[in-house]
Amino acid sequence: MDPSDLALDPDELRRLEECAREPIRTPGMIQAHGTLLAVDADSGEIVVVSEDAADWLDLRVDEVGIPELADAARTGVPLDPIRIPWRGEPADVIVHQNGELNIVEIEPLPTGAEYARVPVVAAIQRLSNADSIEELREIVVTELRRITGFDRVMMYEFQEDEHGIVLAEDRALELESYLGLHFPASDIPAQARALYLSKLGRAITSTEAPARPLLSNRLDTATLDLSGAELRAVSPYHLQYMRNMGQASTFSLSLIEKGRLTGMITCAHGTERRIPVLLRRSLEVLAGQLAVQSAAMREIDRLRHSVEVRERRGALLAPLFASDDITAALFQGRETILDLIPADGVVARIGPSWRVAGEVPPLAPLGGIVDRLDGTPIITDSLARDRPDLAELMPGVAGLLAIPLAENEGALLFFRGEVTRNITWLGDPGSGNRPEGTSPRASFALWQQLVRERSEPWGDVAEEAVELAHDLDHALSRRAESRLAELAMRDALTGLHNRRYLVERLATRGPVGPDGKALLFVDLDDFKSVNDQHGHETGDAVILEVARRLRANSRDRDDVVRLGGDEFVVLMDGVAGTDVHAIAERLVEAVAAPIVVGTAVLQITASCGLVVAEPGTPRVGLLEAADAAMYRAKRAGRNRIAS
Does the CA dihedral 201-97-29-24 come out positive or negative? negative
Which DSSP string corresponds to 287-344? HHHHHHHHHHHHHHHHHHHHHHHHHHHHHHHGGGGT-S-HHHHHHSSSS-HHHHS--S
Residue 155: strand pairing partners: 168, 265
Q: Which helix (H) or strand (E) holds 519?
A: strand 517-524
User: DSSP 3-state assignment of 603?
Assistant: coil
CA distance 16 to 237: 12
Query: What is the gyration radius of the CA atoms in the chain, in angstroms?
Result: 41
Reply yes or no on whether 566 is catalytic: yes
CA distance 569 to 629: 13
Between the alpha carbon of residue 533 and those of residues 526, 537, 545, 605, the distances in Å are: 12, 11, 18, 16
Cβ 252 vs Cβ 206: under 8 Å: no
Angle at 156 between CA 234 and CA 424, to 5 degrees: 105
Between the alpha carbon of residue 4 and those of residues 160, 277, 380, the distances in Å are: 9, 39, 12
- The DSSP 8-state label assigned to residue 578 in this structure reads -
- From the candidates 92, 566, 579, 627, give the one annotated as an active-site residue: 566
Cβ 430 vs Cβ 11: under 8 Å: yes
Q: Which helix (H) or strand (E) holds 542?
A: helix 536-552
- The DSSP 8-state label assigned to residue 440 in this structure reads P
CA distance 624 to 612: 13
264: left (phi over 0), alpha (psi -120 to 50) or beta: beta
Q: Catalytic residue numbers?
A: 566
